[in-house]
Amino acid sequence: MADGSPPARANPRIAPDAVWAQARADYLAGLSAPQVCRRHGVGLSTLRDRAAREGWRRVDQPWTPPDRLDPDDEGRALELSVDGDLDRVDPRQLSWVAARRMMRAAMRGDAVEALRWRRVRLAMDAEEAELARFLAAEDQAGRRIHGAPDPDSPDCPDPVFPSGQAGRPP
């Protein structure tokens, strides 16, 4: 138009061609159809119809190696902090990463992914609890073998007040 405003569209509910071009690029780059729809505000069935009609096929795209992790992901920072050595990763750290990813998925509205990350978090918490039980049992067994008293036992002498006069000055 002469006044600089965009021309009136026949159907204002149809997304402009620029939106569809970006949606196509994102879809062919590997985003899922629901992710593309959320990002660009288009309907899922409309996206799939257009992809079929215009031949948006991922199999026709050249292969590119996937990125390891999103640069903002907590797991990436954890992997960098341990230089890829998984033996240096504490299960509590993995639980925290899973909890953050669960929250991110819930914020996106992806309930299935959020539940998957919840299961991972619960598994990491269970792994940490099992490791703590194992270490406590191993510590207990080591005391029995070496004849050291159990500090939690009522028969164990007080290391601060060996005479048993706890709380009284010598």
Report the C-alpha dihedral over residues 17, 22, 23, 24, rounded to 10 degrees.
Answer: 90
What range does the domain containing 25 cover? 17-60
Number of domains in the chain: 2
The predicted pLDDT at position 145 comes to: 74
Q: At residue 38, what is the residue type?
A: R
pTM to 2 decimals? 0.46
In a domain, 106, yes or no: yes
Runs of H (alpha helix) within 43-164: 44-54, 74-81, 91-108, 111-146
The predicted pLDDT at position 144 comes to: 72
In a domain, 27, yes or no: yes
Rounded CA gap, 38 and 55, in Å?
21
Where the chain has pLDDT below 50, the residues are 1, 167-170
Closest CA to 89 of 79, 104, 102: 79
94 CB neighbour count, 10 Å cutoff: 21
In a domain, 2, yes or no: no
The predicted pLDDT at position 70 comes to: 63
The predicted pLDDT at position 23 comes to: 93
Q: Verify that 55 and 78 share a domain, yes or no.
A: no
- C-alpha 14, offset from chain centre: 35
